[in-house]
Structure 1
Amino acid sequence: MSPKQRVVVVGAGLAGIALARRLDRLGTPVTVLGEERPRPYNRVLLTEVLAGTYPPEVIALPSPERLRHGRVTRVDPCDRTVRRADGSVVDYHTLVLATGSAPTVPTLRGLGEGPELPAGLHPFHTLDDCLRLAGAARAGRRVAIVGGGPLGVTAAGALAARGARVVVVERSPRLLGIRLDSTAEGLVRRHLARLGVEVRTSAAVTGVRTVDGALRAVETADGRLLHTRLAVLACGASPRVKLAREAGLAVRRGVLVDDALRTSDPHVHALGDCAEHAGTPYGPAVPALEQAATLAALLSGDGGARYRGSRPPTRLTLPPATRTGTRAGAPAAVAAPRRERTGDAGRPSPARAPVPFDLVAFGEVEAGPGDHVVRFADATRGSYRKVVVRGDRPAGGVLVGDLDAGDALIRAWEAREPLPATGEDPLHPPTDHGGP
């Protein structure tokens, strides 16, 4: 294969690495140009590193054989070349943009005009961000989380697991927005409280107070100050489209792609966080892997492969909490199990170790006209399940606690199929009829 007859991927995140690995297995040569060092990693697992559950090396991704480090500064579709920051030029036959996303930095009073943030104010998007936060979040230190979406809530749980005193500040009335119904949101709040996390909703952060370039407080719209020297920006992310836009490719929120994940230039594709398909820019993990599988098949000769879009559920896992909450210096992620206690019959009851809080929400969590709603709650198990049924199909729902019982429901929703006809109630976990 001549130098021009090769695939070049810009971006060594989950999407780019997944594509490169598939192409390698299919015998299609590929070169990956990655910006971050020292090696690729799975950004989805950053909260596990922040919590101290995993060391950084555990989330590393296998490096493709032809991985070259260095920032890409320009794409020239006319010459089919990519220019790097060191001045080198890479030719391509097919280019794949997997440039990912960048953290959203809100407009706040007190921030300077430049890109530099005050000391103590951190985004949470990269491994470097994660390691800086982990080093700064000492036990007992107060930390403000700006944003109560999935990223903010999981970051709050991770920092609480390190013993930090965490406050989540969210501008809307509810955590996680429209992803949850009020009951599930209440369960999230209750678990955060058991972790020692304070939640302030309907509180938009509008400014920061600094002294000598270092954070001292965040300010909300009602003029209240939350005094802290450490705050996390968890306000979402935006597709990184600068290279594509400067190359003249069609861009809206993300780089526009068709069902072949092809941009407005037939020799350039895009996938992952930076791509926008059928009006939807997708986040990491499941859509990125699905897109990588589709594009690898196409670039390896399967002309019929097409990407039809994804409907990934929202998944949330928080560290376990003790009955009395997490105290500073005693991470919830490693809280000791309760001792056995004696039951009424004089024999010991089973010890119960604290368990993580698991939640998944999918589709529409509020019923529309003509919909049927099925609910199940088990306070003993800490379980809650709600499914919105439209006709004979699940339109959406939310599951909290033991998620195994809901796997069939989620599969039916993803495949747009009728509810499972198994003869068992998919909302209820099996009853344990075993002996003591």
Structure 2
Amino acid sequence: MVGNGMAGARLVSEVRARSADVRITVFGAEAWQPYNRVLLSNVLAGTSSPDQVRLLDPRWYADHGVTARLGVPVTAIDRDCRTVIAADGTREPYDVLVLATGSEPVVPPIPGAERATAFRTLDDCDRIREAAERAGGAVVVGGGLLGIEAARGLAGRGVPVTLLHLAGHLMERQLDAEAGLILRETLGGLGVDIRTGVTVSAVRERHVELSTGERMDADLVVLACGVRPVVGLARDAGLEVDRGVVVDDELRTDDPSIFAIGECAQHAGHVYGLVAPAWEQASVVADLVTGTDKEARYRGSRLVTRLKASSVELAAMGETHLTEDEAEIVRFSHRHKGTYRKLVIRDGRLVGAILLGETAAVGTLTQLFDRGGPLPFDRAGLLFPGLGGVPVADSPTRMPDAARVCQCNNVTKGQIRACWESGARDVEAVAAATRATTGCGGCRDAVEGIVGWLCEQEGVSA
């Protein structure tokens, strides 16, 4: 296994859960134990410690017979000898090789970019937090998910922060202009000054320069300009590479003994940058390499994006940019309250949605989007769950056991109920048994609600 991030660590644990006999060696470029990169914004904000976002206990490798070479990157693949060569000169043979090399930050080619800090790893978090302690002001470049989370985290630490974004509105890939505007106003109320439609031309010692010639003071500059798949190792080995390492439905590259998963993999033209697809891919590869299910195939993922910034509720899924000419659009907007809800419906099925502000409807809509089932006639009831006979999927009393509570780990209410009946009486115990809440963390409130409801029904203490 080359890569010990969220995809690589998940595959190692999935393989070991299926077989104790497969000899596993994992190389990780970072010296850290694998951690949940999705929750780095919590570490930056100070609401979580590095230990709290760790995916595997340090003793896990030894306890499960896994050889872990942490802080030892792989530098080459010898496909003829079926061997990987590490930076320390180690040559490790393989029968099956899995690439989970992830992504790297995009650094704009501007003068002084080396003075800025990317926001991608725990080491980046440490550098940003240390700089924030003495910074009189900070600039975050990039208004996507990571940029917003970084800016909100810094503002939560009391640092005056300005977010600069090239596009006309925030999160333009996931949100339409109106949702972007309301998100901007919400963040503004939380201490984040936002400038859109601007280009940074240089990073200087204590300021950044815009293409207009304007200067903005900044003791700390954080780059969140997107990521790109790390494919150099695969390309140098002669594997097919496009935007990512090209794989088929078995997640195999054009060398049948080499797989690729996670953010470095390109399947059916798509490179996924979210955790749920990576974990779905890990499950398929684990089934194939252990022989547990030789018919396992990956058919692509339906993406639900959740913003993980304190005091900001946002979920977006599917095709959010279709027009009235292309689809049925149902929309509700209340700028004063920071609320925006939009449904995109085609052929009677939900193909996209945006939920900003109070997101009680997210559970119901995620299920409808994920399953592609027909929608009820009362569209407005979908935006305002509980009205018009439309059930609230996030309410434990109305949620069917088949409802998927944790999208990242594919955990249903029924599985949580079974876990509770086996003795799990709090979220941590449920997480340990099912992995619910350990992805993006967006389902934690729902899991807490189910556990609390079950305890209340049975008259036991949570």
Shift in Å, 1:400:
1.5
Q: Which of 268, 277, 289 is equivalent to 1:299? A: 289
**Count of matched residue pairs:** 376
Q: Cα deviations across residues 374-393 of structure 1 (Å, max 9, x unaligned)?
A: 12346787543110111210
Instruction: Say if 1:379 and 1:237 are closer, same or farther in 2 by CA, change over 3 A.
Output: closer
Instruction: Say if 1:282 and 1:178 are closer, same or farther in 2 by CA, change over 3 A.
Output: closer
Compare CA radii of gyration and give the structure with the larger one. 1
Q: Cα deviations across residues 139-198 of structure 1 (Å, max 9, x unaligned)?
A: 772100111111111111011001110101111111111311233212211121111111
Q: Distance in 2 between matches of 1:161 and 1:298?
A: 45
One-letter code of the match for 2:290? S
Q: Distance in 2 between matches of 1:223 and 1:424?
A: 48
Matching of residues 81-230 of structure 1 within 5 Å: 81-111=83-113, 117-118=114-115, 121-138=116-133, 141-209=136-204, 215-230=205-220
TM-score by length of 2: 0.77
One-letter code of the match for 1:316? L
Instruction: Say if 1:296 and 1:159 are closer, same or farther in 2 by CA, change over 3 A.
Output: same
Contact 1:409/1:420 (8 A) holds in 2: no
One-letter code of the match for 1:235? C
Q: Which of 217, 221, 232 is equivalent to 1:242? A: 232
Contact 2:185/2:338 (8 A) holds in 1: no
Q: Which has the higher helix share?
A: 2
Instruction: Say if 1:421 and 1:295 are closer, same or farther in 2 by CA, change over 3 A.
Output: farther
Q: Distance in 2 between matches of 1:357 and 1:406?
A: 14
One-letter code of the match for 1:86? D
Structure 2 regions of 5+ residues with no counterpart?
393-462
CA root-mean-square deviation: 2.0
Q: Looking at both structures, which has the greater relative contact order when contacts are Cα pairs under 8 Å and sequence separation is at least 6?
A: 1
Q: Distance in 2 between matches of 1:389 and 1:424?
A: 12
Q: Distance in 1 between matches of 2:256 and 2:319?
A: 36
SS, match of residue 357 in structure 1: coil
Contact 1:239/1:274 (8 A) holds in 2: yes
One-letter code of the match for 1:154? E
One-letter code of the match for 1:373? I
Q: Cα deviations across residues 341-380 of structure 1 (Å, max 9, x unaligned)?
A: xxxxxxxxxxxxxxx2110111222343252221234678
Q: Distance in 2 between matches of 1:181 and 1:308?
A: 28
Q: Which of 272, 287, 303 is equivalent to 2:262? A: 272
One-letter code of the match for 2:298? Y
Deviates more, 1:280-289 or 1:362-371: 362-371
Q: Distance in 2 between matches of 1:202 and 1:103?
A: 21
Deviates more, 1:374-383 or 1:276-285: 374-383
Q: Distance in 1 between matches of 2:343 and 2:321?
A: 9
Is 2:314 the counterpart of 1:359?
yes
Shift in Å, 1:422:
9.5
Instruction: Say if 1:228 and 1:381 are closer, same or farther in 2 by CA, change over 3 A.
Output: closer
Q: Which of 318, 330, 349 is equivalent to 1:393? A: 349
Q: Which of 295, 298, 303 is equivalent to 1:312? A: 303
Instruction: Say if 1:379 and 1:101 are closer, same or farther in 2 by CA, change over 3 A.
Output: closer
SS, match of residue 153 in structure 1: helix
Instruction: Say if 1:393 and 1:101 are closer, same or farther in 2 by CA, change over 3 A.
Output: same
State the partner residue of 2:69. 68
Structure 1 regions of 5+ residues with no counterpart?
1-8, 112-116, 210-214, 320-355
Matching of residues 9-88 of structure 1 within 5 Å: 9-27=1-19, 28-62=22-56, 63-64=60-61, 65=64, 66=66, 67-69=68-70, 70-88=72-90
Matching of residues 304-383 of structure 1 within 5 Å: 304-319=295-310, 356-368=311-323, 369-377=325-333, 382-383=338-339
Q: Distance in 1 between matches of 2:82 and 2:375?
A: 49
One-letter code of the match for 2:286? A
Q: Distance in 2 between matches of 1:304 and 1:266?
A: 15
SS, match of residue 132 in structure 1: helix
Shift in Å, 1:406:
2.5
State the partner residue of 1:325. none
Shift in Å, 1:226:
1.1
Q: Cα deviations across residues 59-80 of structure 1 (Å, max 9, x unaligned)?
A: 1111434122211111111100
Q: Cα deviations across residues 70-117 of structure 1 (Å, max 9, x unaligned)?
A: 111111111000111111111100000011111111110345xxxxx2
Q: Distance in 1 between matches of 2:285 and 2:230?
A: 20
